[in-house]
Amino acid sequence: MSEEFLSQEEIDALLGGGEEEKKEEERKEPVAPFDFSQVEHIKKGGLPGFELIFERWIKAFREDVRKILPHVNMVTKENIYISRFQNFMLKIPLPSSYTIFSMRPLKENALLVVDSRLVFTVISILFGGPAKPFKVEGREFTKLEMRVVEDFINTALKSFEQVWDSFYPVMIEVKSIELNPSLARIVSPNEKVIIVECKMDIDGYEAPFFFCFPQSMFLPIKDIVYSQVAFAEDPVWRKNIEEKIYRLNVKLRLEFVKKKTRIKDILSWKKGTEIPLFVSREEELNLYVEDRLKFMAKLGKVKDRYAAMITKPVVEEE
């Protein structure tokens, strides 16, 4: 009769020792609670009203910035998403410009971040260099570079304010321009912000710049920002129409007097015939723009020329 021996594993299994070891191993594994508030929430395509505002701003800003920098080929809106303020700030290279501005009557402040790559590319172009940022290691902007930044910011925010007039009129005011990111804290590090990432194509080189808005900033007008609002008026179209209208030439006609006469008298008129008008300087005359009566005016004289002084506009009754 052969003797059979049990292995140590089999003995432990019979005595229940293996289960205890497994339980001890399970107990040793650390269990950390999952904090959902720490998850970065990136929401793309969820701000249709905001998308529409920036699409119109891009068109207006593209035309304005080309007046000061003809080398700009294109300005585009790359992305709009929601992130945490701290995570956004860590992505910005140094040096960069942080412009803090307000949009009254909305509360809280917003940021316009001009990336150093954009500034250095513009400087290189202005001095006849290639459309590439030159290498800079850990220094602040010079006075010349800050002047370029200020011109860019003023042009961007001026057109941004004009575009908002069609949606919700705001008054944009620059609070400060900071170079230190710690001084550009508009919200707490973990607070959610709306990031608008834009790019400017300068002779083939794409340089980024960013808008940063506190998410709570637009709660009073959430119906505009978070919904697709159809606005018939396009600021770019309106601006072009206004420029064309201002260049139109119109005819002005000042009516001295209306007088009835007979055909027999008209046939007797000849060169040198005097026709009394009986017009005094205090009498108001009709001033026509094309064929429409628009103003009342008095007859006068400036040096050796006759002139008309407008006394009041004429409002047509509907």
Instruction: Report the CATH number that the domain containing residue 268 is assigned in CATH.
Output: 2.30.330.10
CB-based burial, 24-34: b 16+ in 10 Å, e otherwise:
eeeeeeeeeee
- pLDDT at position 305 over 90: no
Confidence of residue 230 (pLDDT cuts 50, 70, 90): very low
What total number of domains does the chain contain? 2
pLDDT at 95 over 50: yes
For residues 223 and 280, membership in a common domain is answered with no
Across 65-74, 84-93, 139-148, 294-303, least confident range:
139-148
Same domain, 216 and 265: no
Name the band, by pLDDT with cuts 50, 70 and 90, for residue 281.
confident
- Whether 62 and 84 share a structural domain: yes
Rounded distance between C-alpha atoms, residue 309 and residue 281, angstroms: 10
> 121 with 200, same domain?
yes
Do the domain assignments include residue 155?
yes
Averaged pLDDT score across all residues of the chain: 80
Show which of 244, 273, 305 is a domain's final residue: 244
Q: pLDDT band for position 211 (50/70/90)?
A: very high
Percent of the chain with pLDDT over 70: 78
Say whether both 275 and 256 belong to one domain.
yes
Please give the C-alpha separations between residue 145 and each of 119, 181, 182, 298, in angstroms, as whole numbers.
Answer: 7, 18, 21, 56
Task: Say yes or no: 165 and 298 in one domain.
Answer: no
pLDDT mean over 262-266: 88
Q: Take residue 30 and report the two structure tokens written for it.
A: 């650390």
- Specify if 116 maps to a domain: yes
- Report the Cα 226 to chain-centroid distance in Å: 17
Q: Are residues 77 and 187 in the same domain?
A: yes
Pairwise CA distance, residues 76 & 212, whole Å: 16
8 found inside a domain: no
- The pLDDT of residue 103: 92
Distance CA 48, CA 66 (A): 27
55 pLDDT above the threshold of 60: yes
User: Model pTM?
Assistant: 0.58
- Choose one of 215, 244, 273: the last residue of a domain: 244
Query: Which residue range forms the structural domain that includes residue 300?
Result: 252-313
CATH number of the domain that 125 lies in?
3.40.1550.10
Is residue 32 predicted with pLDDT exceeding 90? no
Report which of residues 267 and 47 the model is more confident about: 267
267 and 135 in a common domain: no
Last residue of a domain, one of 244, 260, 276: 244
Gap between the Cα atoms of 75 and 12, Å rounded: 73
Q: What b-and-e string marks burial along 298-313, b requiring 16 or more CB atoms within 10 Å of the CB?
A: bbeeeeeeeebeeeee
Q: Which residue has the higher pLDDT, 11 or 202?
A: 202
Note the pLDDT of residue 11. Answer: 62
Helices within the chain (DSSP H only): 8-15, 17-28, 48-68, 85-90, 116-126, 143-164, 222-225, 235-246, 263-267
Are residues 160 and 57 in contact, defined by beta-carbon separation less than 8 angstroms? Answer: yes
pLDDT at 158: 92
- Are 205 and 302 within one domain? no
228 lies in some domain: yes
Note whether residue 118 is domain-resident.
yes
**Domain co-membership, 235 together with 274:** no
Question: What does the pLDDT average to over 223-248?
Answer: 72
Q: Given this model, what pLDDT does residue 160 score?
A: 92
Task: Judge if 206 and 83 occupy the same domain.
Answer: yes
Q: Taking a C-beta distance cutoff of 8 angstroms, is the pair 54, 62 a contact?
A: no
Confidence of residue 102 (pLDDT cuts 50, 70, 90): very high
Q: Which residue has the tokens 């990111």?
A: 181
42 pLDDT band, cuts 50/70/90, is very low
Shared domain check, 288 and 188: no
Q: What is the mean pLDDT of residues 284-303?
A: 88
**The predicted structure's pLDDT at residue 99:** 92
Residue 59 lies in a domain: yes
pLDDT in tens, 153-180: 898 999 999 988 888 889 999 998 888 8
Asked if residue 14 belongs to a domain, the reply is no
Q: Is the pLDDT of residue 146 over 70?
A: yes
Q: Is 45 left (phi over 0), alpha (psi -120 to 50) or beta?
A: left
The confidence score (pLDDT) of residue 31 equals 62
d(CA 297, CA 234): 37
Residue 106 placed within a domain: yes
